[in-house]
Amino acid sequence: MKIKIVLFILFLTCHSLLAEDGHDLWLRSKSTTSINIVCKENSPTLEIAKQELKQGWQGKNGETIVLSVKNNKAINHDGFKFTHEGIQANNDFGILYGVYELLRRQVTGEPFKEEICNPSYEHRVLNHWDNLDGSIERGYAGHSIFWRKGNDAFIVTEKDKVLWQEYARANASVGINGAVLNNVNSSPNMLKTETLNRVKAIADILRPYGVKVYLSAKFSSPSAIGGLKSSDPLNPEVIKWWQDKAKEIYSMIPDFGGFLVKANSEGQAGPQDYGRTHADGANLLADAVKPYGGIVMWRAFVYSTSNEDRAKQAYNEFLPLDGKFRDNVIIQVKNGPIDFQPREPFSPLFGAMKRTSLMPELQITQEYLGHSVDMVYLSTMWEEFFKSDTYQEGKGSTVARCTDGSIFQQKHTAIAGVSNIGLDTNWCGHLFAQSNWYAFGRLAWNNQMKSEKIADEWIKLTFKQTSTDKSISSNNWTVNFLKPVKQMMMDSREAAVNYMMPLGFHHIMSAKEHYGPGPWWAPTRMRKDWTPPYFHQADSLGVGFNRTKTGSNAVSQYHEPVASMFNDVNSCPEIYLLWFHHLPWDFKMKSGHTLWDEICYHYNTGLQQVKQFKKTWEKVQPYVDQERFVDVKERLVLQLNNAQLWNDGCVLYFQKFSKKPIPSDIEQPVGKLEEIMKNDMKRPMPWVKR
Ligand code: GCV
């Protein structure tokens, strides 16, 4: 009996040692050697920097590192310089970022040489779509880490503080320096004093890590909570209300970042309700925060129930306002003209608004890319976006250069990512979704970084030090784990495009939570531009949205030669073909296949790719702890179901129009279209229980 108890205790101890729940993210370095730190200054941030160095140091035993805060014109914002003796920066945050970079290189094996590392963007912000009741719009990793409902909703517990600190640390380690704490579909209660008290508590924890807090503001707040009759931006009482609110916020949070606003979009209030423009609305808030150094991020995600192509509407509305915004307003533009689809061409607003600061908005949470079920590494998608050439100021006017201040004189530069973080132990639901949080930070810091390098770093930081079997040699690990897992990540986004929306298809997902296929969904009561048939336009003659000169002419919003390239079916990249063109089913593709066959081949390729991911992961079992291995394995099974459903649903649905056979050299669908369609809105979401 005694032996049994001892064995049981031993089992529990070993088990807890090996337990890997993913909570530690990419921050696992444990020092084995000592370091001598020289730093004349002191501050809470520098304390953290020193602590991190001591905790994570992997260099020579007893080495001396000098941390010095002094002005160097070559260093921008919170950038830093590696010198022969240590790290130099203009401010404490730069030192902290330098420390994280140094520690990262020690794990990844990248050399530490004299160089300056400047951030691409001044503000690198996470947008949390967290509601005050703790739910998260498009959140797939549990409830909010900031908000909850119930009697203790505003009580700040020790547990809260620990979590917020861990969150701040993770952000700082990849250079993220801002967080919008609530949903853009915001509640006016956000700006009530009792809520602001909690915001202050969060800001106090995030501050030493260099993470500023921002809030999404409801435009109608003056009338909703301020007792005013109107929220008209030109009304003196409204102007005063926002000024007073800003004063109150800054008295509590002196480094408050500013506001994010979704106005006159998807039912949200806005200046147009009073016959005013987006510039009037944005400038109202900008003037209120200006005395304190705050900024306003004003979203360009707008479209109405007009007959105009939805892809054209943001450009039509915002371009005429170019130059009319205050210099502390930044227009936040989604990467593509529709809505975070698996693949979109870049939004034509990039580079077109030359006298206004513009910031890209990326979506880290996988609303249209498989939630926290499908493994999709998004960095390759963002890299494709940054590299897109707008030609606005000649060849090489990439989106990256149009937004980071390289081409246009922007008072402020910024970038936002819609967060995928929740209360799940591993923060993001899917272990591999952590890589998207990581990649967003790395690309926000350096928009020229290559996805492969980011994946390489993330895998090493996340898995290397926890390899369960110490007898595994480094070479063995590299060949049998790092390489195949990296390849899987690098292929994963294209795979998702293949099994969801290849060749320029977009917005053909299920209306239920945007997971799974739904190209058929078109209730008559529904707004047309919310239904997939509006976007794919399939009929007996062909498929695709004609956005050429003979169609909606969305191509004309692009600068030449991009406009002509997209307009001409022969030069339009095939990855965007059905985004811009309506084509016959037997249109000849570059491969020699007909369009119909090519569609089938793409869906099938996506399906086969996911099968391959599953095999790859099964093979790497010896290199991963059991808990993380099983969790990812289970999700890959669900991802394969999803890929199968997409393949079967889309191929069989479009076949009703093409009336052509599915090529015989690929797997035939296993599902029945009627069944898939019948179950579409009833199918439960395949959440993985943790
Ligand atoms: C926060 C899409 C999403 C909405 C989101 C909106 C936006 O429509 O489905 O959940 O709302 O984009 O970005 O404002």
Exactly one of 280, 367, 491, 598 is catalytic; name it: 367
Rounded Cα distance, 565 and 351, in Å = 17
Query: What is the pLDDT, as a whole number, of residue 6?
Result: 44
- 3-class secondary structure, 275: coil
The preferred substitution site among 137, 268, 302, 304 for testing ligand 1, maximizing ligand atoms within 8 Å of CB, is 137
Query: What is the pLDDT, as a whole number, of residue 479?
Result: 96
Beta bridge partners of 68: 88
Q: DSSP for 11-68, please give it.
A: HHHHHHHH---STTTT------S-EEEEES---HHHHHHHHHHHHH--SSTTEEEEEE
Please, what sign has the CA dihedral across residues 527, 533, 537, 541?
Answer: negative
Contact at 8 Å (CB) between 397 and 407? yes
Count CA atoms closer than 13 A to 256's CA, side-chain side: 29
Q: Is 529 in the pocket of ligand 1 (CB under 6 A)?
A: no
Number of H helices, E strands in the chain: 21, 15
Backbone angles phi and psi of 211, in degrees to 5: -100, 110
Give CA 443 to chain center in angstroms: 11
- 3-class secondary structure, 121: coil
Rounded Cα distance, 242 and 264, in Å = 19
CA triple 262-303-386, angle to 5 deg? 75
Q: Is 185 in the pocket of ligand 1 (CB under 6 A)?
A: yes
Cis peptide before 561, with omega less than 30 degrees from 0?
A: yes
Whole-angstrom distance between the N-terminal and C-terminal Cα of the chain?
Answer: 33
Pull the structure tokens for residue 298.
Answer: 């004003």
Q: DSSP for 309-349, please give it.
A: -GGGHHHHHHGGGTT-S-TTEEEEEESSSSSS-SS-PPPTT
Contact at 8 Å (CB) between 583 and 569? yes
Exactly one of 266, 586, 618, 675 is catalytic; name it: 266
- What is the enclosing helix (H) or strand (E) of 486? helix 483-500
How far is the CA of 398 from the CAs of 325, 354, 450, 568, 574, in angstroms?
Answer: 23, 14, 15, 21, 20
Query: What is the pLDDT, as a whole number, of residue 470?
Result: 66
DSSP state of 392: B
Q: Is 339 in the pocket of ligand 1 (CB under 6 A)?
A: yes
Q: Is 452 a catalytic residue?
A: no
CA of 301 to the centre of ligand 1 (A): 9
Contact at 8 Å (CB) between 401 and 670? no
Kindly give the parts of the chain with pLDDT less than 50: 1, 3-17, 690
How far is the CA of 527 from the CAs of 307, 508, 530, 538, in angstroms?
Answer: 11, 15, 6, 18
Query: What is the pLDDT, as a whole number, of residue 465?
Result: 66
Cis peptide before 348, with omega less than 30 degrees from 0?
A: no
Q: Is 367 a catalytic residue?
A: yes
Nearest to 576 by CA among 544, 541, 537, 605: 544
Q: Is 122 in the pocket of ligand 1 (CB under 6 A)?
A: no
Q: Is 339 a catalytic residue?
A: yes
Neighbours of 13 (CB within 10 A): 10
Nearest to 444 by CA among 106, 179, 142, 213: 179
Strands 357-363 and 414-418: parallel
CB neighbours of 302 closer than 8 A, spacing ≥ 6? Answer: 264, 265, 278, 313, 314, 317, 318
Neighbours of 149 (CB within 10 A): 13
Contact at 8 Å (CB) between 219 and 244? no
- 3-class secondary structure, 353: coil
Task: Dump pLDDT digits (tens) for 623-666.
Answer: 999 999 999 999 999 999 999 999 999 999 999 999 999 999 99
Residue nearest to atom 8 of ligand 1 (CA): 339
Nearest to 319 by CA among 306, 302, 343: 302
Residue nearest to atom 12 of ligand 1 (CA): 339
Contact at 8 Å (CB) between 358 and 333? yes
Residue nearest to atom 2 of ligand 1 (CA): 339
Beta bridge partners of 359: 332
CA of 586 to the centre of ligand 1 (A): 36
Rounded Cα distance, 528 and 531, in Å = 5
Contact at 8 Å (CB) between 571 and 565? yes
Neighbours of 305 (CB within 10 A): 10
Pull the structure tokens for residue 480.
Answer: 């049998």
Looking at the CA of residue 184, tell me the nearest atom of ligand 1: 1
Rounded Cα distance, 550 and 268, in Å = 33
In single-letter form, the type of residue at position 608 comes to Q
- What is the enclosing helix (H) or strand (E) of 629? helix 626-658
In single-letter form, the type of residue at position 246 comes to A
Exactly one of 309, 317, 339, 344 is catalytic; name it: 339
Looking at the CA of residue 138, tell me the nearest atom of ligand 1: 10
Give me the helix-helix angle, 158-173 and 92-108, nearest 10°: 70
Q: Is 137 in the pocket of ligand 1 (CB under 6 A)?
A: yes
Beta bridge partners of 261: 298
Contact at 8 Å (CB) between 517 and 509? yes
Beta bridge partners of 35: 63
Rounded Cα distance, 296 and 414, in Å = 11
Q: DSSP for 559-594, please give it.
A: PTTHHHHHHSTTTS-GGGHHHH--EETTPBPTTSSB
Nearest to 130 by CA among 181, 187, 192: 181
Pull the structure tokens for residue 328.
Answer: 């502390």
CA triple 477-480-485, angle to 5 deg? 100
Query: What is the pLDDT, as a whole number, of residue 11?
Result: 40
Contact at 8 Å (CB) between 441 and 175? yes
Rounded Cα distance, 614 and 604, in Å = 16
CB neighbours of 421 closer than 8 A, spacing ≥ 6? Answer: 126, 128, 141, 145, 167, 427, 428, 437
Task: Dump pLDDT digits (tens) for 433-480.
Answer: 999 999 999 999 999 999 999 999 999 999 986 555 667 788 899 999
Pull the structure tokens for residue 612.
Answer: 């391959």
Count CA atoms closer than 13 A to 364's CA, side-chain side: 31
DSSP state of 398: B
Looking at the CA of residue 514, tell me the nearest atom of ligand 1: 9
